[in-house]
Amino acid sequence: MIANTLNKPNGAPTFRTGDERLVKLTASAALKVSTLLTKQGRPKGVLRVAVVGGGCSGLQYKMDLQDGPANRDILVETAGVRVVVDPKSALYVTGSELDYVDALDGGFKVKNPNAATSCSCGESFSA
């Protein structure tokens, strides 16, 4: 199941636990995210993957490093990294793979099976 377990520790945000069918990181992306979290002093932090309006195709990805999941998030552990996705964004990113390419035109790249079209930069899409 993509998201199944409800976690409700005392006083902490309520979030669900999902699996890699929601979002998956390649080894390269996981290494980069782990390195960035460590540099920021958040070795137990999370990568937030969200979809927001904008970009040349209508929707764009937003990624951020945070201390932990927020209320209603779905938490996925993939390649040793904790990734959180809000329920609305989960509708758009289900089945996606996040890769990291270390090159001049590189960076994080999202392979999204739900994207009907995407722009040439790979940072925005339409569903």
At 26 the pLDDT is 98
Q: Residues with Cβ < 8 Å from 83, sequence gap 6 or more?
A: 23, 25, 46, 47, 48, 49, 75, 76, 77, 98
The 10s digit of each residue's pLDDT in 31-90 is 999 999 999 999 999 999 999 988 777 889 999 999 999 999 999 999 999 999 999 999
Residue with tokens 């994207």: 115
Predicted confidence band of residue 1 (pLDDT cuts 50, 70, 90): very low
The 10s digit of each residue's pLDDT in 17-26 is 999 999 999 9
Q: Do residues 7 and 16 make contact, with C-beta atoms less than 8 angstroms apart?
A: yes
The 10s digit of each residue's pLDDT in 84-121 is 999 999 999 999 999 999 887 778 999 999 887 766 55
Consecutive H or E run containing 24: strand 23-25
Entry pTM:
0.84
At 13 the pLDDT is 74
In percent, the amount of the chain with pLDDT more than 90 equals 68
How many residues comprise the chain? 127
